[in-house]
Structure 1
Amino acid sequence: MSSTDPVTTAKPVTQPASKIRGALLRYRVLAWVTGLWLLLLVVELILKYGFGVDSLDFVPIVHGWVYFVYLIMAIDLSIRVRWPIGKTVVTLIAGTIPFLSFYVEHIRTREVRAQFDV
């Protein structure tokens, strides 16, 4: 192939900035919501198993569904910005460890904004 062949000189296909910006916003919102529900889940488990209080039985169910939506939003963002599988898995697991979703959200937001200028 010659050096002027469009196949060899083409840049990798990237998402428009508006789509990346939208995916990043959705991911950030769900990271925070997931983190807050996870902290509420920790409080609920302490009350339930530490003090015998069974008043917040809905918290695990809500956190589970919020985490499920978080997974979808994180995968959507990872596909759009083409994260490697390791970075994607760490981001997905961050929603299961208290306070980690806040930290990972901050790091990933900084990386995506720097890389894609959004």
Structure 2
Amino acid sequence: MHRFKDLEIWKSSRKFCSEIYNITSNFPDSEKFGLTNQLRRASVSVPSNIAEGCSRSSNKDFSRFLEIAIGSIYEIETQLLISFDLGYINQVKLDELCFNLDRIVKMTSKFRSSLI
């Protein structure tokens, strides 16, 4: 078992989640149940799945939760691209967020490969 609070992937994804909450607070009210909700739910899913995976008794189970977290990251990236298309975020912010997502994916993938 791993202590999720000690994992850099959990710390980074938790920080990213907070950033998503801050950014989506500026989205139009009409997106409250659309992109705002979807982005927030997907971003919460990443550190949550990492934490839940830590509780599993086998590395295989933990690896599966990391795989789910990576899937949520790609969901977030898609939703951010749509947010950009709709003019809710600018290119600079999109690039910054996608860079951070890519870093989290790489860290998570590398950690996941060490479990197998």
- The structure, 1 or 2, with the larger RCO (C-alpha pairs under 8 Å, 6+ apart) is 1
Q: TM-score, normalised by structure 2?
A: 0.44
Q: Which has the larger radius of gyration?
A: 1
Q: TM-score, normalised by structure 1?
A: 0.43
